[in-house]
Structure 1
């Protein structure tokens, strides 16, 4: 489901004005590899990402998004970083800014596949042979893979 129903409802009221939305990134690791999806909207590889539904616990949102996007069940191990994603303008003119909560996660079960229409592929990538990726996504991966106990605060400055 590319646009959550609550966002569609908001868009009817505010049009394409910038929305402030909470989001999650699930960096899922298994046997020296990270789970990435090939996004249908921009053709780029990324970890699992998604919007948190109203009232939903962020860690549960990360688990839900991983299952919805890749068919993989995960455990959420720790909060890795918190930061603001640069503003996005979508092809239809809608604008949004996201507060991202990145979680370090582990594989539990399932073989990855593009389980929804948001992605065209989902697979494990060796940590030492990752595909080209946006620098903001790389920073989230680095935080989740760091092994640090405390969450990082990401600043665009």
Structure 2
């Protein structure tokens, strides 16, 4: 993710020391159209990250004073040019610590959400953070999608299909009982 200006300014004072930052991960799902085969599964929007080449959901750092739902909508618009709507909370958990190529270290408190976009919405690259963006069947994810993101994608599908029985994930390392 591109470094927000407020973090660049903080780094002038604290160097590479670990920052604890609020962030969010957006699982954008395209549901199965009504009347489709029972074998059809939802599609998820993934972007190929410029920094490591891995496919991942859209994610971003909250700006000071910004609500996490505002961050989610803003990041989807900035990164893939789509107007999104937050539909559900999927969970909250720690990500990291992450050490970047320049030595900066961050620990993120991530809020994962399921978002929707217009039925015919097609993404476009909106910034330099990603090199490609496309829809993938949740049954056929690219190999480079990490374990945590696979769990969140599965949670998003479960929440969409059975909202009344869904419980958000509290911590990404294990499923709450």
Q: Does the Cα contact within 8 Å between 1:85 and 1:136 map onto a contact in 2? A: no
More strand by share: 1
Please give the per-residue CA displacement for 1:80-130, whole angstroms capped at 9, x wherever unaligned: 110001210000000000000000111137421221000001111111111
Question: Which 5+ residue runs of structure 1 have no aligned equivalent?
Answer: none
TM-score (normalizing by structure 1): 0.94
Question: Which 5+ residue runs of structure 2 have no aligned equivalent?
Answer: 32-41
Choose from 130, 133, 144 the match for 1:119. 130
Greater Rg by CA:
2
* CA–CA distance in structure 1, aligned partners of residues 157 and 21 of structure 2: 25
CA-CA distance at 1:142 after TM superposition:
2.1
* 1:6-155 matches, cutoff 5 A: 6-31=6-31, 32-108=42-118, 110-132=121-143, 133-147=145-159, 148=163, 149-155=166-172
Q: Does the Cα contact within 8 Å between 1:71 and 1:110 map onto a contact in 2? A: no
Please provide the CA RMSD for this pair. Answer: 1.5
TM-score (normalizing by structure 2): 0.84
